[in-house]
């Protein structure tokens, strides 16, 4: 009997050893019954459950880790979070399901969601899908005048700027200062990129990526902070694509080449009352300009569905400057009230065309009430330029043929509607 008792004791002890060895006890998962959001506050703790305002996480990184592993895909930020170069928020492979990171709507000043700092604040990479709402990303100058960038969106990642998301005050002599995009971006519901400064793409640079602006989204009041600047609001390069629709706008931006938008081997599509207005190009070098849009490197701009380019200014091509590329206007698109301020080597209040440029007007498109010293409506230096599907009124004799589009009522000292300056 004693021998049997000792055998049982030895077996029980072996089981205990096994349990404490290679197979540790499983930690219980938190109870998420009724939980709709994780919460983050700067004075919180990452050891908290993060499932209530009374027990918030301290860092967004911890909340994203939790959201990527559970059914709770909403994160609520409360207050201001400071970031520097060493504490950049890296978001990597959180999965295909969208995670909403938001501030509290109608929050008081102490609880408004703000992420601020210098260096790059957020890097989004891999298979990640993040949406920002009611939140402001705010750039600051770092030690030794170090600059700042808002967000980098790498290939395969998706970012949505939703309701009242703001990207502002980022500044560095670099490219894509507000947002640098190689993945996918959606701007919706009054999202704004504003008051940023860079060399190329002060507000947004799209390099091989795809961006869509809709629902009154806006890129406004971005300015250059370095010489040879381009795309004060947006630069679309290396097969990148930007689609503007649903009353979205690019306005009040400035750069030496392409005050509003620079397209260099990229594509811009405007439709559904999208607008590019009151932007400025500040350089008069030949081939540079485009107060509203500069098209370089065989880029393309297509205007449709009552879209408009208006109120822009440049030394060359007040509305659009085409330097190797194509502009297509259709479906009541309009280029209006733009101004070119340059002399004989420049011009084109509405459109300026150099070298391998092409403009196609059709379907009641209209270039009107633009102003320049040479070519109030269009200034062209290309013998190969061919206009199709439009008509010219109140202009001098010319060889171009139009059918339904219109270039009329423009103002110039030379060539009221079209001025041809072939070499």
Alpha-helical regions (H) of 55-155 = 60-69
Q: State the average pLDDT for the chain.
A: 83
The set of residues, in sequence order, having a beta carbon less than 8 Å from that of 140 and lying 6+ positions away, is 116, 117, 118, 148, 169
Does one domain contain both 94 and 243?
A: yes
DSSP 144: G
Tell whether 7 is covered by a domain. no
DSSP 175: B
Average pLDDT for 74-93: 91
15 inside domain: no
Pairing label, strands 293-303, 267-270 = parallel
Q: Predicted confidence band at 298 (pLDDT cuts at 50, 70, 90)? A: confident
pLDDT at 346: 63
Strand bridging mode 267-270 / 113-117: unpaired
Answer yes or no: is 316 within a domain: yes
Whether residues 369 and 411 share a domain: the answer is yes
Q: What is the widest separation between alpha-carbon atoms in the chain? A: 122
Check whether residue 101 and residue 56 sit in a common domain.
no
Q: Are residue 279 and residue 134 in the same domain, yes or no?
A: yes
* Residue 12 counted as domain residue: no
Same domain for 46 and 111: no
Inside any domain, residue 22:
no
Q: What percent of the chain has pLDDT over 70?
A: 80
Q: Which of 22, 51, 78 is the last residue of a domain?
A: 78
Q: Which of 18, 48, 78 corresponds to the end of one domain?
A: 78
Query: 408 vs 60, 277, 308, 334, 369, CA distance in Å?
Result: 56, 20, 16, 11, 7
Residue 348 lies in a domain: yes
- Say if 237 falls within a structural domain: yes
* Nearest of 199, 208, 209, 190 to residue 231 by alpha carbon: 199
**Domain count for the chain:** 2
Residues 6+ apart with CB under 8 A from 82: 42, 116, 117
Q: Are residues 280 and 379 located together in one domain of the fold?
A: yes
159 and 55, same structural domain? Answer: no
Are 89 and 72 part of one and the same domain?
no
What is the pLDDT at residue 411? 55
**Taking the model in full, what pTM does it have?**
0.86
Last residue of a domain, one of 54, 78, 102: 78
Residues 204, 240, single domain; the answer is yes
pLDDT at 417: 53
For residues 136 and 164, is the Cβ–Cβ distance under 8 A?
A: no
Give the per-residue pLDDT at 286: 63
Residues 181 and 241 in one domain: yes
Report which secondary-structure segment, H or E, holds 19. Answer: helix 2-19
- Is residue 90 located within the same domain as residue 170? yes
| Backbone φ/ψ region at 195: left (φ over 0), alpha (ψ -120 to 50), beta | left
CA distances from residue 420 to 79, 345, 372, 395, 407 in whole angstroms, order as listed: 59, 11, 13, 12, 15
pLDDT above 90 for 335 = yes
Q: Does 3 map to a domain?
A: no
The residue range of the domain holding 260 is 85-420
- Per-state percent for the chain, helix, strand, coil, to nearest 5: 10, 45, 50
295 and 384 co-located in one domain: yes
* pLDDT band of 408, cuts 50, 70, 90: low
Average pLDDT over residues 217-241: 90
């Amino acid at each position: 009997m004693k021998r049997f008792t000792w055998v049982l004791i030895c077996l029980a002890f072996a089981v205990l050893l096994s349990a404490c060895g290679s197979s540790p006890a499983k930690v219980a998962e938190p109870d998420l019954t009724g939980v709709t959001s994780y919460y983050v506050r700067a004075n919180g703790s990452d050891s908290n459950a993060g499932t209530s305002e009374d027990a918030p996480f301290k860092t967004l990184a911890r909340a994203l880790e939790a959201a990527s592993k559970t059914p709770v895909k909403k994160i609520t930020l409360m207050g201001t979070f400071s970031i520097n170069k060493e504490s950049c928020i890296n978001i990597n492979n959180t999965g295909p399901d969208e995670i909403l990171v938001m501030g509290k709507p109608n929050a008081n000043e102490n609880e408004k969601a703000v992420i601020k700092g210098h260096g790059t604040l957020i890097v989004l990479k891999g298979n990640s899908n993040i949406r920002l709402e009611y939140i402001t990303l705010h750039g600051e100058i770092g030690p030794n005048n170090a600059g700042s960038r808002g967000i980098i969106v790498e290939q395969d990642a998706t970012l949505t700027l939703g309701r009242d998301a703001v990207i502002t005050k980022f500044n560095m002599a670099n490219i894509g200062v507000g947002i640098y995009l190689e993945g996918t971006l959606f701007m919706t519901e009054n999202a704004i990129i504003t008051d940023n400064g860079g060399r190329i793409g002060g507000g947004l640079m799209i390099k091989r990526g795809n961006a869509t602006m809709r629902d009154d989204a806006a890129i406004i009041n971005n300015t250059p902070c370095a010489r040879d600047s381009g795309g004060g609001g947006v630069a679309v390069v290396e097969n990148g694509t930007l689609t503007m629709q649903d009353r979205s706008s690019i306005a009040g931006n400035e750069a030496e080449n392409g005050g509003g938008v620079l397209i260099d081997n990229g594509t811009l599509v405007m439709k559904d009352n999208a607008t590019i207005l009151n932007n400025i190009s500040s350089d008069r070098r030949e081939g540079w300009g485009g107060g509203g849009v500069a098209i370089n490197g065989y880029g393309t701009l297509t205007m449709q569905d009552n879209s408009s380019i208006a109120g822009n200014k440049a030394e060359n091509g007040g509305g659009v400057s085409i330097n190797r590329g194509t502009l297509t206007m259709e479906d009541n698109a309009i280029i209006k009230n733009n101004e070119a301020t340059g002399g004989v080597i420049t011009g084109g209040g509405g459109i300026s065309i150099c070298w391998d440029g092409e403009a196609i007007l059709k379907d009641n498109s209209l270039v009107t009430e633009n102003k320049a010293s040479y070519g109030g409506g269009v200034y062209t230096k290309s013998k190969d330029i061919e206009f199709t599907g439009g008509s010219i009124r109140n202009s001098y004799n010319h060889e171009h043929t139009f059918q339904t589009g219109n270039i009329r009522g423009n103002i110039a000292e030379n060539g009221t509607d079209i001025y041809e300056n072939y070499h």
